[in-house]
Amino acid sequence: MSALRKVLVVDDDAVVGTSFNRVLTEKKGYVVTTAQNAHEALKQIREQEFDVVFTDIKMPGMDGVELAERVKASHPWTPVVIITGYGTTANETRAKAAGVSDFMRKPLSPEMIEESALHAMFEPLPASAATLPAAPLHEVDIDLTQGQSNFKNIALFVAAPFIGLVYALLLPLVGLAMLGWIGAKAMLAQPATRKALKLLGNVAKVMATPFIGLAYAVMLPFVGTAMLVWVGIKALLAPVRAA
């Protein structure tokens, strides 16, 4: 028995993938893999080879034409078929420029799916594609991620000595604070310590009483004067309001 032909279907509508599974069965020599978006499809293509890729155009994030361009750039020998319910001349022009094998419009019939798969897989490979070296897809897809990772590593390398210095300075202080906290809890657990603290609180209140009284004595004339002024102003403004 010949090896099964691998088909990748990329569409955010699960019904489309189900339709391909029903038409391109193992009995007919196919195995269908589905992806919900272009990034998931690129991950699948990095992990295994496919005999043909079917992709919708209108998807969240990267659209199907850009996906086709990336697939053809990295795997020029892999046929790509565009399927969409929003076919436009501009999209068809872009798709043809990317080198797709076919451009199909929804709704798709079982005959259209099978005929397109056969046509794409048995279409003669262009001479330029046969000799073109593959560009690693992971390099195309995650250049930005690698750049961010490199920047992060450099920043961590530069910051490491300063982070170590902060740890070295703070560690003794944290240790002393913990020891002080443990000692204070141990002291407060003793009845004698609690009595001593209560006594100190009472002594502080007694010592503060003259100062509190003095503050009242000093502030009282000012408060009384302010109240008299306020009452006088209200009395003066009363005739004006009545008028």
Which span out of 108-112, 214-218, 232-236 was modeled with the highest average pLDDT?
108-112
pLDDT higher than threshold 70 for residue 1: no
Q: What is the per-residue pLDDT for 30?
A: 93
pLDDT band with cut points at 50, 70 and 90 for residue 125 = low
Name the β-bridge partners of 98.
none
pLDDT band with cut points at 50, 70 and 90 for residue 45 = very high
Name the β-bridge partners of 103.
82
Q: Give the single-character DSSP code of 218.
A: H
The rounded Cα 44 to chain-centroid distance in angstroms is 21
Residues of the chain with CATH 3.40.50.2300: 5-141
- List the Cα angle 54/100/89 in 5-degree steps: 100
Residue 146, class by beta-carbon neighbours within 10 Å (0-12 exposed, 13-18 middle, 19+ buried)?
exposed
5-141, what's its fold?
A: Rossmann fold (3.40.50)
84: left (phi over 0), alpha (psi -120 to 50) or beta: beta
Residue 38, class by beta-carbon neighbours within 10 Å (0-12 exposed, 13-18 middle, 19+ buried)?
buried
The rounded Cα 136 to chain-centroid distance in angstroms is 25
Average per-residue pLDDT in the chain? 79
CA dihedral 93, 47, 136, 62 (to 10 degrees): 40
Rounded to 5 degrees, φ, ψ at 125 are: -80, 130
